[in-house]
Structure 1
Amino acid sequence: MSPNDDQPRVTTTIFDVARLAGVSHQTVSRVLNDLPNVRASTRERVEQAIRQLNYVPSQAARALVTRRSRTIGLVATGLPDYGPSSIVLSFNRSARAAGYAVIASHPADIEGATLRSAAEMLIRQSVEAIVLLASERGVLDAFDGWELGVPLVAIASETRGRSVRVSLDQYGGARRAVGHLQQLGHHDIAHIAGPAGSMDAEERLRGWRDALLDAGMPVIEPLRGDWTSDSGYRLGCQLLAKRTPEAVFVGNDQMALGFLHAVQAQGLQVPADISIVGFDDVPDSEHFMPPLTTVRQDFVALGQEAVTAVLAQLRDEEAAVLGPMQIPDLVVRASTRSR
């Protein structure tokens, strides 16, 4: 047995061939089905990519060019928090405006078998494409290598696997938040991060760390919550029992709400004793006490961009190149002040 025999095998898909040949997946399917209206030079490029990748087409790949159901599948993982729920709502509205219905699946967990079952259920309903709302890395990894027979668009903070990705710039948003605190004169900036494995949490943590390192400021190991107010309160009490940093960048607004409670429970005041910045700009954040400085994500635009990416994949032409990720805006309120 060779050393790599126990490693998972990655299946080459029709979308890999399309990317290598520089054409749409429908064009590859036309070549596979020996259909007309494919230029000789394009056909040669596709056939060369097929040989180079040792691609063996599946029945679904051969039939892909004729799939027209006007439906899109949506696999939404994670908790129905404000951000994911807003993205799903925007995606549904945008798909409907484009003349597509959406069939949604909300798997109970992110185990590979559960995710595959969700995807297969959508395929059986003849969806033209699948959109994956992925919060954790394991979700993208599970889909990588499956030949679904339809395009896959991932709403995810990191580039993993072979799906087309749309996202807001979590890293840039975090740097914007920390940069605000630095401009106010804060040098000791702590971080309460989201859970390990969350792509959003890791990108925000990376932005916080890089902003501090670039400014020559100390980086103290962050605390990790689970996105809930309870974890923000618990970790806030834990942090403040040891020391009082000048400022804290909190991974989302719900944890920031809990942290505000912890600060008050310790007899401290925001922002007199400590400045706080959150992330997401949930509808209630401007009514926190004090109103929360935070990073506003345009979830509506993200849902729209996901539909745009799907339509680009479904057009019988080379896929449109998506623009650069949007950096979320900083919303300055009363929870931060100058040193």
Structure 2
Amino acid sequence: MADVAREANVSGQTVSRVSNGRDNVDPETRERVLEAMRKLGYRPNSAARALRSGRFHSIGVIMFTLSSFGNMRTLDAIAIAAADAGYSITLIPVPHPTQGEVSVAFDRLSEEAVDGVIIIVEAHLLDENDVVLPAGLPVVVVDSTARDRYPVVDTDQAHGARLATEHLLELGHRTVWHVAGPERSYSATHRRESWEATLRAHGAEVPPVVVGDWSSESGHELGLELARNPEVTAIFAANDQMALGVLRAMHETGRAVPDEVSVVGFDDMEESRSFWPPLTTVRQFFGEVGRRSVEALLHEVESGEQEDSTLVATELIVRESTAAPRA
């Protein structure tokens, strides 16, 4: 910094203001300093800056899985929102989410020096007392619960499941069968509970739930089981991948969609409009979830105050996989 100051014929304080992006520097002087930086190959030392300011301008992300559509879309939005705010992200995957694994992930992030952490763990882990999170570190939770300890940003899972179920009932189907996600999944639990509550509110029979693992393979296997039951005329799958497997099963067993069986998914992944038939589904706004999670975290980092939890609305996208049942 002293070399830059000599080269630009300014004070070290002026160089500091320029390197930190302050606006109280004359434009001509700023350009002279920047030119000196370029000439000398000067790069501001982020570690030294962190020691002075107490900020690392880094966000930690603990994520349950990198394979799911929703998690990757949310992570992409977090990375973009963080970069726009001048922050980098440090990602710690937790492939087998247990209480101990989440605690270990926090320990690793503590070594990486982050200003706060976003947790994307869809299992019901954060409801359990054995998860130890460090005191004083800002935390925002996505797609889980946190017993009111931390702000939660999530899709309104219950509203989306209600939209899907009511759509099928309003078409005239007597009831709706459900291909649920894993029992340990927070999202799957809320979608299943809302599906059941909606059927009961409309006086419809609640069929037995069949449980998959989010994959199209499990949807196909369970779809073959449902296809053998002639009473099944409407199916709500807890995600688009399992809905794809259901569509394949119906095709293989000769049950036409939507003439004999209507199918609704959840997510609105890009490929859903290219399924055959194009899939009616519930759209989640993962980009909005990611952006708001970064906003909530940085608000606490900068002010020391937690924001309220946020639910991002869902939208029903009606395509050709649903229709009124045959008379």
Tell me how far 1:111 sits from its aligned partner. Answer: 2.6
- Distance in 2 between the 1:188 and 1:108 partners? 37
For the Cα contact (< 8 Å) 1:157–1:170, is it kept in 2?
no
Per-residue deviation, residues 81-100 of structure 1 (Å, max 9, x unmatched): 11100000100110110111
Per-residue deviation, residues 8-57 of structure 1 (Å, max 9, x unmatched): xxxxxxxxxxxxxxxxxxxxxxxxxxxxxxxxxxxxxxxxxxxxxxxxxx
Q: Tell me the equivalent position of 1:180.
A: 167
Identity within the alignment, %: 33
Per-residue deviation, residues 267-310 of structure 1 (Å, max 9, x unmatched): 11000001110000111100111000000100000000100110
Task: Give the length in aligned residue pairs.
Answer: 274
For the Cα contact (< 8 Å) 2:265–2:280, is it kept in 1?
yes
Indicate yes or no: 2:317 matched with 1:331: yes
Q: Tell me the equivalent position of 2:107.
A: 120
Match runs of 1:91-110 below 5 Å? 91-110=78-97
Name the SS for the 1:238 alignment partner.
helix
Tell me how far 1:144 sits from its aligned partner. Answer: 4.4
Name the SS for the 1:173 alignment partner.
helix
Name the SS for the 1:191 alignment partner.
strand
Q: Tell me the equivalent position of 2:158.
A: 171
**Structure 1: 4+ residue segments shifted above 4 A:** 142-145
For the Cα contact (< 8 Å) 2:179–2:236, is it kept in 1?
yes
- Paired letter, 1:166: V
Indicate yes or no: 2:136 matched with 1:149: yes
Normalising by structure 1, we get a TM-score of: 0.77
Q: Tell me the equivalent position of 2:20.
A: none
- Distance in 1 between the 2:129 and 2:314 partners? 28
Name the SS for the 2:266 alignment partner.
coil
Per-residue deviation, residues 89-136 of structure 1 (Å, max 9, x unmatched): 100110110111111101231133322221111111211111100110
- Distance in 2 between the 1:201 and 1:264 partners? 26
Name the SS for the 1:284 alignment partner.
helix
For the Cα contact (< 8 Å) 2:240–2:272, is it kept in 1?
yes
Normalising by structure 2, we get a TM-score of: 0.79
Indicate yes or no: 2:212 matched with 1:209: no
Tell me how far 1:79 sits from its aligned partner. Answer: 4.6
Q: Tell me the equivalent position of 2:217.
A: 230
Name the SS for the 2:258 alignment partner.
coil
Q: 1:222–1:143: structure 2 CA closer, same or farther, 3 Å change rule?
A: same
Match runs of 1:1-339 below 5 Å? 67-139=54-126, 141=128, 144-160=131-147, 162-316=149-303, 318-322=305-309, 324-339=310-325
Gaps of 5+ in 1: 1-65
- Distance in 2 between the 1:217 and 1:159 partners? 33
Larger radius of gyration: 2
For the Cα contact (< 8 Å) 1:141–1:160, is it kept in 2?
no
- Distance in 1 between the 2:88 and 2:130 partners? 23
Per-residue deviation, residues 146-195 of structure 1 (Å, max 9, x unmatched): 33431111102445361221101001100011111111111121000001
- Distance in 2 between the 1:317 and 1:120 partners? 22
Tell me how far 1:196 sits from its aligned partner. Answer: 0.6
- Paired letter, 2:85: A
